[in-house]
Structure 1
Amino acid sequence: MLLGVIADDMTGATDVALMLNRAGMRTLQVIGAPAPGAALPEADAVVVALKSRTNPVAEAVADSLAACEALLAAGARQILFKYCSTFDSTAQGNIGPVADALMQRLGASQAIICPAFPANGRSIFQGWLFVGEVPLHESSMKDHPLTPMRDSNLMRLMGAQTQHPVGLVAHSVVSQGASAVRQRLAELAAEGARYVVTDALDNGHLMVLGEAIAEHVLLTGGSGIAMGLPENFRKAGLLPWRETATHLSAPSGRAGIISGSCSTATRAQIAAALAAGIPALKVDPLALAEGSQKPAELAAWALAQPADSPFLVYSSDDPAEVASVQDKLGRERAGETVEHAFAETARLLVAGGVSRLLVAGGETSGAVVQGLRVRTLEIGPEIDPGVPWTRVVDGPELVVALKSGNFGAPDFFLKAWNLLR
């Protein structure tokens, strides 16, 4: 293993695994914190997918350190802590506490902070994170049900979660190339900055940053920062070029979609699916909580639909409705109710012959994969930026696409199936 990645949610793990796979690294995704002494599969890069974005801080730190130990034991030369391109977190964490723990374990003197992903409209300028043309706090992320983002300044956001000073490598430096970035990082280190936000407006900037941090033992950011890392290993003679597949051979069987994301992008994808006539059933979290709607009923409805088309089971709703449900059930119970129901529904669907499953939403994806007891995923072709098909390596005969709520074009639910053979 050359690169070890610790991802704080399921879809983010798949996202960064795709980025590495496209750049010629054979990459596998492992689900959950490895047990002490557990061996990881052999690959150029292994991504450990955790459910640590919204877990209690102590639990997130413990799981991340366990993943780090397993990756180091397997030979990883560099560790990437991967979080969302919209820096999903609260003032208490979990990005800062996890990064602090990893920095201490690895003996790192400095780590960059770069959630930029220009292909999906995430850019950083003067340390401010933008989603498309608007600052993060003006985007739909301001209404995220678990991690509402009400600030766009990454220095302030990270500064609230760590005791270490946070610096900035501005666009004017990044545009001068890797040597200028390294020089500025050294200057900031001399000033005591342990974390450094790095501006990035396009893929060229990400490649510059990747080259500049080749010697860093720890880096943090979104999947975009992984873009330039494989070339470092290739220049060092450690990594041959590997071709990537354009299609994925999938087992015969039924196709289905489960969506728990309430993001603007996913709601647009649901609207497109409904307009195209895909059979759809909307789930009511309140009915799930009181027991008048059950996973067995959701699965029975889905399996009763025509087998020549995918079906859609979704709880996605607009922010006002989500807030209303949270007021009645509480934020944690509302999320857990839907996640547990979809995990059981997925298990029943696979038992009923579904072998091609698309899941929307990071928390939903984590719950579904854990419910199916999947441990390892092989990365397949890209559907849209940041979202590949994957094949289950050590579980049911199944291909899955795990989509971050914010990712994908409006026709995502319609076109994804064209990459399967």
Structure 2
Amino acid sequence: MRPTLGILADDFTGALMVACYLEGAGIYAPLVFDSAAIDGTSSVVVAGARTRTVAVDDALTQVEAFADAFIRAGYRAMVYKTSAGFDSTADGNIGQVADFLADRLELRPVLMAAGFPSFNITTHQGYLFYRGRLVSESIKRYDPLTPMSDPDLVRFLSLQTPHKVGLVDHSQVRKGPVAINEAILRLGDCGHVFLDVSDEADLAAVCAFAAGRGRVFVASDPVAVEYTKLLLGQQQVKPAPSHARGPAVVLAGTVGPVIGRQLDAFSCFYPVLTVDISDPRPVESLAADALEWACLHLAADRPFAVATSAGPDDVARSQTFLGPIGAARRAESILGTLARLLYQKGVRRFVVAGGETSGAVVSSLLVKSVRALPEGPLGTGFCVTEGADRTSFFLKPGKHGGDGLLLDVLRAMENGDS
């Protein structure tokens, strides 16, 4: 398999989603979390970084390490995979990453495309619609880390880069690759070009254009997947490893109504502990207390969950003391530390809720690479480390899934499903 494409995602759950979709499409797509694990033995490699909400310098340090590793291994085309709605703040980091990759590969303009039409997340005339509403009028405006208050993604992305961001809207995209190219030429000197994805036809047209043109693409999940499929076609998939055995735990660091309902459903059958992150004691002390509680249930061979928020009041209190970013980082640190302690006690199945929390847990366990399992009845999210001592994960974005998802995931892991 000749190295062709390196995909770098801005969080771990997004990276896993892309890898799962590619595996389901018959494309072997190893998923790595450490640039040292990139070896050029596959046509495409997916890398998970933690660049969405960190400081710009930290994000660019991560991107540089992965980009250099891609190039050394022979991957010359690159995708920076963002969330479907280009979740970010006015300070970054999408524009800055696009600038870095453009300079590193000496290629402008960088193509950009957001949206996920099958989930009713679309862009039209440069405006982002989240489940049929302007993102600024949707639940996304309440996101604690990346509240999307401006639906004009061209204007919003322009705050993150000194280069002009041009727009090729739906009326041009729908006409296909030739019309897209003509529209870009009319834009003149642009650092980046944003392309509408108003529907599935737009998605196909954008990917067809990108596959014949660019080596740098900033794209949401389905755009990255379709682009990869056009570049590579179907390939023989190596057999995936089976799920690990042993105790199972749910770790929930995300907040919001979706995970709240999922934990409520879970608590009807299994115990749930909520850690108060506004408790001023050190992270290690809070994790140790949670471990002592967890050991009671490990001894009884029962699944259990540990969360860092019981609802809106908890979120408001912790953010008052710590600020939104500080509260999120403290929650991630507690659950990451607890995951390491639980692993030492024999836990080998982890269900993790929240993209940033997933990054913290996987990093704490020093996992360098995993094999994603193809999309199944529960969607994407399952992956397994390869080797003799396997660990199974289900990494889910905070807003993903129905009320019974946590129970269904544990049942699937037990039955060896995906």
The normalised TM-score by structure 2 is: 0.90
User: 355-364 or 9-18: which moved more?
Assistant: 9-18
**Stretch of structure 1 that moved more, 138-147 or 125-134:** 138-147
Work out whether residues 250 and 399 of structure 1, in 8 Å CA contact, stay in contact via their aligned partners in 2. yes
Change over 3 Å in CA distance of 1:176–1:39 after alignment to 2: closer
2:110 aligns to what? 111
Cα distance in 2, alignment partners of residues 232 and 164 from structure 1: 29
Alignment match, 2:192: 195
Cα deviations by residue, 1:68-89 (Å, 9 ceiling, x for unpaired): 1111111113100111222221
Output the CA distance in 1 between the equivalents of 2:9 and 2:263: 27
1:294 and 2:283 matched? no
Asked if residue 242 in structure 1 is aligned to residue 244 in structure 2, the reply is no
Q: Structure 1 residues 126 and 267, CA, compared in 2 at 3 Å: closer, same or farther?
A: farther
Tell me the alpha carbon deviations over residues 263-290 of structure 1, each in whole angstroms, 9 at most, x when there is no partner. 333223223323x423211121112646
Seen in structure 2, the aligned counterparts of structure 1 residues 174 and 264 have a Cα distance that, compared at 3 Å, is: farther
- Separation in 1, partners of 2:148, 2:228: 31
2:333 to 316, 323, 340: 340
Other-structure match for 1:62: 61
- Distance (whole Å) between structure 2 residues aligned to residue 42 and residue 290 of structure 1: 43
Map residues 80-99 of structure 1 onto 2, 5 A cutoff.
80-99=79-98
Which letter does structure 1 place at the counterpart of 2:214?
H
Q: Summarize the Cα distance change of 1:381–1:22 in structure 2 as closer, same or farther, 3 Å threshold.
A: closer
| Residue equivalent to 2:395 | 402
Q: For 2:66, what is the secondary structure of its paired residue? A: helix
| Contact 1:375–1:395 (CA under 8 A) maintained in structure 2 | no
The residue type equivalent to 2:374 in the other structure is: P
Identity among equivalent positions (%) equals: 32
For each residue in 1:86-136, what CA deviation from the matched residue of structure 2 results, as whole angstroms up to 9, or x when unmatched? 222121111111111111111111122222112333211111111112211
AA matched with 1:208: A
Structure 1 match to 2:21: 19
Secondary structure of 1:382's match? coil
Is residue 2:262 matched to residue 1:269? yes
Amino acid at match of 1:381: P
For the pair 1:227 / 2:225, whether they are aligned, the reply is yes
Please tell me the residue identity of whatever aligns with 1:382.
E
Distance 1:395 1:149 in 2: 44
| Coordinate RMSD, CA, aligned | 2.5
Unpaired runs of 5+ residues, structure 2, are none
CA distance in 2, matches of 1:335, 1:383: 30
- How far the C-alpha of 1:417 sits from its partner, in A, is 3.3
Give the distance between the partners of 2:381 and 2:308, measured in 1 at CA.
Answer: 23
The 1:403/1:105 distance shift into structure 2, 3 A limit, reads same
Distance of aligned partners of 1:259 and 1:140 in 2 relative to their CA distance in 1, 3 Å threshold: same
Out of 215, 218, 235, the position equivalent to 1:217 is 215
Match of 2:342 among 342, 349, 362: 349
- Evaluate the alpha carbon distance shift between residue 341 and residue 374 of structure 1 in structure 2; reply closer, same or farther with a 3 A threshold: same
Shift of 1:297: 2.3
CA pair 295-395 structure 1, distance change in 2 beyond 3 A: farther
- Residue 272 and residue 68 in structure 1: after superposition, are their counterparts in 2 closer, same or farther (change >3 A)? same
Q: 1:389 Cα shift?
A: 0.5
Instruction: Compute the displacement of 1:395 (Å).
Output: 9.2
Indicate the residue corresponding to 1:176 in structure 2.
175
Q: Distance in 1 between matches of 2:341 and 2:374?
A: 27
Q: TM-score normalised to the size of structure 1?
A: 0.89
CA contact (8 A) 2:241 2:386 kept: no
In the TM superposition, what are the counterparts of 1:27-176 in structure 2 within 5 Å? Answer: 27-32=29-34, 34=35, 39-40=38-39, 42-176=41-175
Structure 2: how far apart are the matches of 1:320 and 1:187? 52
Mark the CA change 1:353 to 1:363 in structure 2 (over 3 Å): closer, same or farther. Answer: same
Q: In structure 2, the residue corresponding to 1:287 is in which secondary structure?
A: coil
Asked if 1:260 corresponds to 2:290, the answer is no
